Structure 1
Amino acid sequence: MPDPFALLGRLPPSLAALLEAALHRVPLLRRQLERQYEALLAELDDALHPYRDKLPIYSRLPKSGRSREEILAEMRELQALEQRRWREGYVSGAVYHGDPAHIDFLNQVYALNSQSNPLHFDLWPSTVKYEAEIVSMTAHLLGADHASDPIVGAVTSGGTESILLAMRAYRDRGRAERGLKRPRVIAPVSAHAAFDKAADYFGIELVRTPVGPDLRADVEAMAAAINRNTVALVGSAPSFPHGVIDPIPELAALAQAHGVGLHVDACLGAFILPFARELGYDAPEFDFRLPGVTSMSADTHKYGYAAKGTSVVLYRGEALRRYQYYAIADWPGGLYFSPTLAGSRPGALSAACWAALVSIGEEGYRAAAAKILATARLIRCWIEQIPELEVLGDPLFVIAFASPSLDIYRVLDAMSARGWSLNGLHRPPAIHIAVTLRHTEPGVAQRFIEDLRAAVEHVKAHPAEKGGMAPVYGMAASLPMHGVVEELLRRVVDALYKVE
């Protein structure tokens, strides 16, 4: 029986699509696919369920509740097991600050505000203060002082929600002001997957355009994709995969010329790029200093060093922001409105975000940016000295690298075996490391490059080693159609929720 995955990979996309549909209808082929899924998931099972044989499993409520002391002791044990890698800098992104004193401070702030809920602003007006000031501080960091219009926004749960809300605002403005039935958003292929999610959720036509050899958005390709239904363009500062900054000034001019919006996804760069140029790095303008920039997303829970669960979405003017709100006036439960996707929200996270911004201040963020940018420059230089690897694009602090001679996903697995948690990329196959304050600690960058050299040598000596994520990424990179891989990913999510 031929391998259907391999067969799909040898066909042109149009024929592969037909075969892919057939795979799900023909019992024999379906069983073959099932065996492939089961084999790949079996290889991932231990990583997905490391505590299966070590801790009690609860598939239903216990008859009697356990003691709080016992529960806390168990959680402390898990914390001790899981914090070593990020504390010691073995992780790309994920934990961006990590200093124990900073974490303890945020935990104290959270505890003081643990019952607050911004939905009930009459009970907790403190959350109104915190969120309004978070938005204002972020806006002024991103060029509000130089904008002719007021820069306004909202606090969200993360970058994905910030992007979802911005895309919904453009969709609804296009519907209300231009009568559009199928609003179009144009984004380079490197823009975050949250734009695909927004298009799927909100019925937006998302047109993905190619990037240039430098992996930045191709402005001419984006211009060619603009039509009468276009409501917004997208640029990244920097892009998540490759850490390069799209040509935002050119995109802003293009958006202005066509009377459409430009959303700049600065989830990664908002708290570093404003300081990069004054620190001597080549960082183009990317924010509200450019008149064509009409919205931005900025993650306070990344390089803003807030607790996980906050981001900011910003708009040029209140009129555009109002399109992200939800309000209903005829519900029997009363008048209902919410600024973001959620109704009830944890006010403690907003309080912790505010506390992080105010306690660190502009000088603290500038100093952190200086350390991160210097460490990233060093890591990039070292990677470029490894003959089997090549750095992609011209990154500042998120460094992607590929290999013309090795299976880069085997290198990823070899780094995982050495304790590292890095990000696998594809189209093209690559790995990236998002440099954080954890990597600026003494010896961490050196350990990374030493382990990377060792991983490359290991893959050269063992090119056909099995297991890990390499088969999954390899399959995703080789298939012209995505349905088979997306089905596998859904099964991975199923496995995450499996109690056994």
Structure 2
Amino acid sequence: MSKSLPKTKRTKDDVLAELRAMHAEDARWKEGRTFSLVYYVDEEHSRLLREAYGEFMSENGLSPLAFPSLRRMECEVVSMATELFQGDADVAGTMTTGGTESIMMTVKAAREWARNEKGIARPEMIVPTTVHPAFEKAAHYFDVEVRHAAVAPDFRVDVRDVERLITPNTALIVGSAPPYPHGVVDPITELAALAQARGLLCHVDACLGGFMLPFVRKLGRDIPPFDFSVPGVTSMSADLHKYGYAAKGASVVLHRNRALRRNQFYTYSNWPGGLYASPSMTGTRPGGAIAAAWAVMHYLGEEGYLDNARRILATTDKLIAGIRAIPGLQVLGSPHMSVFAFASDSLNVYELGDAMEARGWKLDRQQSPPALHCMITPAHERVADVLLADLRDCASKLAAGEPAPEGSAAMYGMVGAIPDRKQVDGFLLDFLDGTFDRA
């Protein structure tokens, strides 16, 4: 069904009513029923974000000369993030619209560094198999070769395999803190030492954990070194709109020094429209996202972030213990914070996911190995007991032979059985093509 531009104006109330009606069909994240995509705290927090974003909704961070307020806020956000990640006065960075852009800027900067400093025409980077797909996307866009390092049985990247993959064209080694699938921080100290010994760049993708792990450590948990305190780490990415609790889209990308950051920038001096200089991937840089990130960091402060981390860890501990107590279910690895996956050696976890979805829960499906995924926020504190009760009941019924409701299990089973991943990519292209066809 196609949609044409209305011939006449509609009232504000009419338009907003239709918006809200469509919104009612979306995932119920405010109720703690969704375990990805949204990092919800409470309504007071959300009102702050809306108001701060609204104050700068029309401003464009592309021009720091036109909007010095945005420049100041961005510099302060970068400074606060640098201190949080134990960087010194030499660390330099910018904000971006999200983790993917931060990662793309990292790869672009590594490519330029490799070309300019090493004379490598087509650089390579080594990433764990668990690294975020944004690295694959960046490599595709910027013509960088990706080499995949295996993970050990504890789901952390195997440093020996990373070393084996190094070639004369290697420019960048990547580790995650933590990777999204299993929530287990990679051995950053060892990766960075390897990179430093070979004269390579080392990036820590802390898009997920950057604004959680420092506070988890302050609460007394054993968190392995992952930031600029580690010699050899040359850049980091961390998302403010995840556990920084900012509005989408807001992230930071940080470099060990300004010389490295210069490789991220783009300039063009021959345009009749004037001199053009852009610090990141996008041209227009939404002022509202910068303002909301600045506002929430001042609003929460260390006290607020610690309080949220304490609540989240308590909920995570309860859920992990509860899941481990359900016959047939196992939590994968030893997660360092509030993200984890669980699998089964006796049940079809995709069918378990479908059974849970029929009860209103949205748990991400994972593969290699098949698993269900949880990302915990303050919103899940009040629903943990109900989730565990439903999970026990669904697992018990599947174990007794009761069929699961129709859902994604058949699709994941089919995809998992296809050895040619290019064929799976074709399936995904068809899916996207259909999803974004005319409404």
Report the counterpart of residue 373 of structure 2 in structure 1: 432
Report the counterpart of residue 134 of structure 2 in structure 1: 194
CA distance in 2, matches of 1:65, 1:490: 37
Report the counterpart of residue 115 of structure 2 in structure 1: 175
Shift of 1:481: 1.6
Report the counterpart of residue 21 of structure 2 in structure 1: 77
How many corresponding residue pairs? 438
Shift of 1:81: 4.8
1:463-489 Cα shifts (integer Å, max 9, x gaps): 654631112222232222212211121
1:1-32 Cα shifts (integer Å, max 9, x gaps): xxxxxxxxxxxxxxxxxxxxxxxxxxxxxxxx
1:277-316 Cα shifts (integer Å, max 9, x gaps): 2312121110000111111110000000001111111110
Given candidates 61, 84, 88, the residue that maps to 2:5 is: 61
Given candidates 104, 110, 123, the residue that maps to 1:164 is: 104
User: Structure 2: which amino acid aligns with 1:446?
Assistant: D
- Please, which runs of 5 or more residues in structure 1 have no aligned partner? 1-56
1:225-273 Cα shifts (integer Å, max 9, x gaps): 1111111111111110011111111111111111111111111111111
1:69-114 Cα shifts (integer Å, max 9, x gaps): 200122233345547x211111113221331111111111122111
Q: Give the alignment's Cα RMSD to 1 decimal.
A: 1.5
Q: For residues 72-471 of structure 1, what are the structure 2 equivalents within 5 Å?
A: 72-82=16-26, 85-144=28-87, 147=88, 150-395=90-335, 396-440=337-381, 442=382, 444-462=383-401, 465=404, 467-471=406-410
Given candidates 465, 469, 475, the residue that maps to 2:414 is: 475
Q: Which has the higher mean CA deviation after the structures are superposed, 99-108 or 275-284?
A: 275-284
Find the residue that maps to 2:17 and give its secondary structure: helix
CA distance in 2, matches of 1:289, 1:362: 19
CA distance in 2, matches of 1:324, 1:426: 33
CA distance in 1, matches of 2:282, 2:398: 46
CA distance in 2, matches of 1:76, 1:330: 46
CA distance in 2, matches of 1:116, 1:97: 25
> CA separation of 1:453/1:131 partners in 2, compared to 1, >3 Å: closer, same or farther?
same
CA distance in 1, matches of 2:249, 2:109: 21
CA distance in 1, matches of 2:269, 2:419: 48
1:443-463 Cα shifts (integer Å, max 9, x gaps): x11111111112212333456
CA distance in 2, matches of 1:81, 1:200: 34
Shift of 1:495: 2.2
User: Structure 2: which amino acid aligns with 1:423?
Assistant: D
Q: Which has the higher mean CA deviation after the structures are superposed, 464-473 or 331-340?
A: 464-473
Find the residue that maps to 1:277 and give its secondary structure: helix
Find the residue that maps to 1:61 and give its secondary structure: coil
Shift of 1:382: 0.8
CA distance in 1, matches of 2:56, 2:227: 32
Q: Is the Cα–Cα contact under 8 Å of residues 127 and 347 in structure 1 kept in the other structure?
A: yes
TM-score (norm 1): 0.85
Q: Is the Cα–Cα contact under 8 Å of residues 402 and 429 in structure 1 kept in the other structure?
A: yes
Pairing 1:489–2:428 present: yes
Q: Is the Cα–Cα contact under 8 Å of residues 409 and 469 in structure 1 kept in the other structure?
A: yes
Shift of 1:376: 0.6
CA distance in 2, matches of 1:451, 1:347: 42
TM-score (norm 2): 0.96
Shift of 1:168: 0.7
- Please, which runs of 5 or more residues in structure 2 have no aligned partner? none
Q: Is the Cα–Cα contact under 8 Å of residues 358 and 405 in structure 2 kept in the other structure?
A: no
1:415-449 Cα shifts (integer Å, max 9, x gaps): 11111111111011111101111112x3x111111
CA distance in 2, matches of 1:432, 1:260: 33
1:196-227 Cα shifts (integer Å, max 9, x gaps): 11111111111001100000010100011111
CA distance in 1, matches of 2:69, 2:62: 12
CA distance in 2, matches of 1:495, 1:235: 35
Find the residue that maps to 2:162 and give its secondary structure: helix
Shift of 1:411: 0.8
Shift of 1:123: 2.4
Report the counterpart of residue 7 of structure 1 in structure 2: none
> CA separation of 1:278/1:108 partners in 2, compared to 1, >3 Å: closer, same or farther?
closer
User: Structure 2: which amino acid aligns with 1:93?
Assistant: S
Report the counterpart of residue 35 of structure 1 in structure 2: none
CA distance in 2, matches of 1:244, 1:463: 34
> CA separation of 1:213/1:61 partners in 2, compared to 1, >3 Å: closer, same or farther?
same
Give identity over the alignment, percent. Answer: 47
Q: Is the Cα–Cα contact under 8 Å of residues 414 and 458 in structure 1 kept in the other structure?
A: no
CA distance in 1, matches of 2:402, 2:427: 25
1:327-373 Cα shifts (integer Å, max 9, x gaps): 01112221111111110121111101110111110111111111111
Find the residue that maps to 1:65 and give its secondary structure: coil
Q: Is the Cα–Cα contact under 8 Å of residues 410 and 463 in structure 1 kept in the other structure?
A: no
